[in-house]
Amino acid sequence: MGNPWLDHLKKVRKAHSNLSLKQAMKEAKKTYTKVGKSKKVGKVRKSRKVRKSKKSRKSRKSRKSRKSRK
């Protein structure tokens, strides 16, 4: 058992052998339904807050003091 979409596409191409791949994909899209993955209801994940790291004293020095060093 391979990819469900590709399996479906192969069936459509066999049924419509005169179509190009692009046209066959358009036809297959009309009849394909996703199988398997279902959404779980009720469980919600909370996102974690990211803490910003505190700057060291060296990086907190004022702009003037940095300019005067140059």
Q: Give the pLDDT confidence of 14-46 residue by residue, as tens digits.
A: 999 999 999 999 999 999 988 665 555 566 677
* Full residue range of the structural domain in which residue 4 is found: 1-33
Q: Is the pLDDT of residue 58 over 80?
A: no
Beta carbons within 8 Å of 19's beta carbon, 6+ residues apart: 13, 27
pLDDT at position 65 is: 66
Residue 20 lies in a domain: yes
Residue 23 lies in a domain: yes
Q: How far apart are CA 48 and CA 39, in angstroms?
A: 22
How many domains are there within the chain? 1
**pLDDT band (50, 70, 90) for residue 6:** very high
Residue 67 lies in a domain: no
Tokens of 50: 């990211």
5: helix, coil or strand?
Answer: helix
With a pLDDT cut of 90, the percent of the chain lying above it is 40
Tokens of 55: 């700057």
Report yes or no: 31 and 12 within 8 Å, Cβ to Cβ.
Answer: yes
pLDDT at position 44 is: 67
The whole-chain average pLDDT of the chain stands at 78
Report yes or no: 23 and 9 within 8 Å, Cβ to Cβ.
Answer: no
